Amino acid sequence: MATIYAPPKEVGNPPQFEPGGDFRKRMKDEEAWVAELAAWAKQNGNGSEAGEEIRFPVGDGYARYIVLSMRPVKLIHIPTFDAYSFQYANRLTAADIREKIRSARAMRKLFSSKPLEATA
Protein backbone atom coordinates (compact mmCIF):
# COMPACT_ATOMS: atom_id res chain seq x y z
CA MET A 1 0.00 0.00 0.00
CA ALA A 2 1.26 3.44 -0.93
CA THR A 3 1.46 6.59 1.14
CA ILE A 4 0.79 9.77 -0.82
CA TYR A 5 2.52 13.02 0.12
CA ALA A 6 2.19 16.64 -0.93
CA PRO A 7 5.25 18.22 -2.54
CA PRO A 8 7.90 19.16 0.04
CA LYS A 9 8.25 22.77 1.13
CA GLU A 10 11.85 22.79 -0.10
CA VAL A 11 10.63 22.53 -3.70
CA GLY A 12 7.96 25.19 -3.29
CA ASN A 13 4.58 25.39 -4.97
CA PRO A 14 3.94 24.69 -8.64
CA PRO A 15 3.41 27.68 -10.95
CA GLN A 16 -0.12 29.01 -10.68
CA PHE A 17 -2.56 29.34 -13.56
CA GLU A 18 -3.03 32.89 -14.78
CA PRO A 19 -6.11 33.40 -16.99
CA GLY A 20 -5.05 34.87 -20.30
CA GLY A 21 -1.41 34.05 -19.57
CA ASP A 22 1.08 32.50 -21.97
CA PHE A 23 0.21 28.78 -22.04
CA ARG A 24 3.59 27.70 -23.47
CA LYS A 25 5.43 29.57 -20.71
CA ARG A 26 3.18 27.98 -18.12
CA MET A 27 3.89 24.51 -19.52
CA LYS A 28 7.64 25.19 -19.51
CA ASP A 29 7.49 26.53 -15.92
CA GLU A 30 5.47 23.54 -14.71
CA GLU A 31 7.79 21.01 -16.32
CA ALA A 32 10.79 22.78 -14.76
CA TRP A 33 9.06 22.56 -11.38
CA VAL A 34 8.31 18.85 -11.90
CA ALA A 35 11.98 18.27 -12.85
CA GLU A 36 13.02 20.01 -9.62
CA LEU A 37 10.59 17.82 -7.67
CA ALA A 38 11.96 14.68 -9.35
CA ALA A 39 15.53 15.73 -8.53
CA TRP A 40 14.53 16.31 -4.91
CA ALA A 41 12.93 12.84 -4.78
CA LYS A 42 16.06 11.22 -6.23
CA GLN A 43 18.22 12.94 -3.64
CA ASN A 44 15.94 12.34 -0.65
CA GLY A 45 14.20 9.10 -1.60
CA ASN A 46 15.53 5.59 -1.86
CA GLY A 47 15.73 2.99 -4.59
CA SER A 48 16.51 3.23 -8.28
CA GLU A 49 12.91 4.27 -9.04
CA ALA A 50 13.08 7.40 -6.83
CA GLY A 51 12.41 10.45 -8.95
CA GLU A 52 10.49 8.58 -11.65
CA GLU A 53 7.12 9.97 -12.70
CA ILE A 54 4.04 7.79 -13.04
CA ARG A 55 0.71 8.97 -14.40
CA PHE A 56 -2.84 7.74 -14.74
CA PRO A 57 -5.50 9.04 -17.15
CA VAL A 58 -8.26 10.90 -15.31
CA GLY A 59 -10.97 13.07 -16.85
CA ASP A 60 -9.38 15.23 -19.53
CA GLY A 61 -5.85 14.91 -18.15
CA TYR A 62 -3.63 12.87 -15.87
CA ALA A 63 -3.08 12.20 -12.21
CA ARG A 64 0.68 12.51 -11.82
CA TYR A 65 3.00 11.26 -9.09
CA ILE A 66 6.73 11.17 -8.41
CA VAL A 67 8.13 8.04 -6.77
CA LEU A 68 9.90 8.77 -3.48
CA SER A 69 10.41 5.25 -2.19
CA MET A 70 9.54 1.66 -3.07
CA ARG A 71 10.00 0.13 0.39
CA PRO A 72 7.66 1.27 1.77
CA VAL A 73 5.89 2.70 -1.26
CA LYS A 74 5.80 6.51 -1.05
CA LEU A 75 4.58 8.82 -3.79
CA ILE A 76 4.47 12.59 -4.12
CA HIS A 77 1.37 13.99 -5.79
CA ILE A 78 2.05 16.50 -8.59
CA PRO A 79 -0.68 19.16 -8.23
CA THR A 80 -0.49 20.74 -11.69
CA PHE A 81 -3.30 21.66 -14.09
CA ASP A 82 -6.46 20.25 -12.49
CA ALA A 83 -4.43 18.46 -9.78
CA TYR A 84 -6.18 15.19 -10.54
CA SER A 85 -5.54 12.28 -8.22
CA PHE A 86 -5.84 8.57 -8.99
CA GLN A 87 -8.58 7.05 -6.86
CA TYR A 88 -6.55 3.90 -6.17
CA ALA A 89 -3.12 5.54 -5.72
CA ASN A 90 -2.98 4.43 -2.09
CA ARG A 91 -3.44 0.82 -3.20
CA LEU A 92 -0.46 0.75 -5.56
CA THR A 93 2.23 -1.80 -4.85
CA ALA A 94 5.91 -1.72 -5.77
CA ALA A 95 5.17 -4.19 -8.59
CA ASP A 96 2.41 -1.92 -9.95
CA ILE A 97 4.78 1.05 -9.96
CA ARG A 98 7.62 -0.86 -11.60
CA GLU A 99 5.24 -1.98 -14.36
CA LYS A 100 3.96 1.58 -14.84
CA ILE A 101 7.56 2.86 -15.14
CA ARG A 102 8.49 0.06 -17.57
CA SER A 103 5.44 0.79 -19.70
CA ALA A 104 6.10 4.55 -19.79
CA ARG A 105 9.73 3.97 -20.81
CA ALA A 106 8.64 1.62 -23.59
CA MET A 107 6.14 4.19 -24.91
CA ARG A 108 8.76 6.98 -24.81
CA LYS A 109 11.19 4.75 -26.69
CA LEU A 110 8.56 3.80 -29.25
CA PHE A 111 7.47 7.36 -29.97
CA SER A 112 10.84 9.08 -29.68
CA SER A 113 12.65 6.91 -32.19
CA LYS A 114 13.46 8.34 -35.59
CA PRO A 115 11.22 7.15 -38.42
CA LEU A 116 12.76 4.70 -40.85
CA GLU A 117 14.04 6.31 -44.02
CA ALA A 118 12.64 5.10 -47.32
CA THR A 119 15.06 3.26 -49.55
CA ALA A 120 14.96 3.51 -53.33
- CB-based burial label for 49 (10 Å; 0-12, 13-18, 19+): buried
Torsion of CA 33, 38, 40, 45, to 10 degrees: 160
The reply to whether 35 falls in a domain is yes
Residue 55: band (very low, low, confident or very high) from pLDDT cuts 50, 70, 90:
very high
Which position has the higher pLDDT, 6 or 110?
6
Q: Which pLDDT value is given to residue 115? A: 61
Query: 10: helix, coil or strand?
Result: coil
* Structural domain count of the chain: 1
pLDDT, one tens digit per residue, over 11-53 is 999 988 778 888 899 899 999 999 999 999 999 999 999 999 9
pLDDT, one tens digit per residue, over 67-78 is 999 999 999 999
Q: Which domain holds residue 38?
A: 3-112
pLDDT, one tens digit per residue, over 92-114 is 999 999 999 999 999 988 888 66
* Alpha carbons 79 and 91: distance in angstroms, whole number: 19
The reply to whether 83 falls in a domain is yes
The reply to whether 77 falls in a domain is yes
Q: Are 71 and 46 in contact (CB under 8 A)?
A: yes
Residue ranges of E strands in the chain: 3-5, 53-58, 61-70, 73-77
The reply to whether 119 falls in a domain is no
The reply to whether 87 falls in a domain is yes
Cα distances from 107 to residues 53, 110, 112, 116, in angstroms, run 14, 5, 8, 17
Q: Which pLDDT value is given to residue 108? A: 87
Q: Provide the whole-model pTM.
A: 0.88
